[in-house]
Amino acid sequence: MRTAGLVLGTFALLAGQALAQGGRPPIPPGFNKEAILEQVRQAMPQVIENAPEETLEIAGVVKIKYKRIPTDPAKVAEALGRNLGGKGLPPGIDVNQYIGMFEKDIAEVLNEALKDVGTFEALRPIKIRSKRIPKGVHRIGIVFQGERPSALRVFNADKQVLKKAVEIRLKTRAADLQPELRIKLKEPKKQHEGREKFELRLSFLRFEAKSKSKLQAVSEE
């Protein structure tokens, strides 16, 4: 299941609460699903904040800083368990009985949390097809269609800098489960100074993706 990581984190919370009260891991429908999901929503920003930061750069063109958010089930369960006061999944829990119940809800929580994962600094103006990202520091996040990442979104709260968000559309394929979110800059073997091109690549959950079109540095004029 693509959202198994966050689902497991939810189970860690459920089990931890039950065991703390001297009981067994909860079995549906004997718990408040909405209350648990709300706690997960509140914990996600801290999980993202605690994730390691990575910096990518093409000198004089672009610099990206983003959070390598865990997507491996065990790592997510551990991270959510810490932030929700639990200690991870106790042994003997039948995870499969809960996955179908939480999968859609957890996917929505995850999609919402990943709308902003870091910064996209255009060291020069950057063009993608007919769109243009002006020089400056902007935010970057992931756009989803269901569970599939469909675009990287570059946006800025200051509309005078970037009036409208730029979506970098992604070509996506299924892959093995990725341990964490990774973004990469892919350059061609030969660059032309002043017209540098690059692709953005992304691996996340059970997907790998790359930008459908190359991005290119352009003149400030």
Residue 91 has pLDDT above 70, yes or no: no
Contact 76, 9 (CB under 8 A): yes
Alpha carbon distances (Å) from 196 to 121, 147, 167: 15, 32, 20
Digit-coded pLDDT (tens) for 146-197? 878 999 999 998 887 888 999 999 999 999 888 889 999 999 988 888 889 9
Residue 163's Cβ-count burial label (10 Å; 0-12, 13-18, 19+) is: exposed
Contact 58, 187 (CB under 8 A): yes
Tell which residue, 217, 221, 185, 220, has the closest CA to residue 200.
Answer: 185
Residue 74 has pLDDT above 80, yes or no: no
Write out the two tokens for 154: 């570059």
Higher pLDDT, 140 or 114: 140
Mean pLDDT computed over 111-135: 92
Residue 2 has pLDDT above 80, yes or no: no
Residue 94 has pLDDT above 60, yes or no: no
Alpha carbon distances (Å) from 61 to 17, 120, 195: 49, 11, 9
pTM higher than the cut 0.85: no
138: confidence class by pLDDT, cuts 50, 70, 90: very high
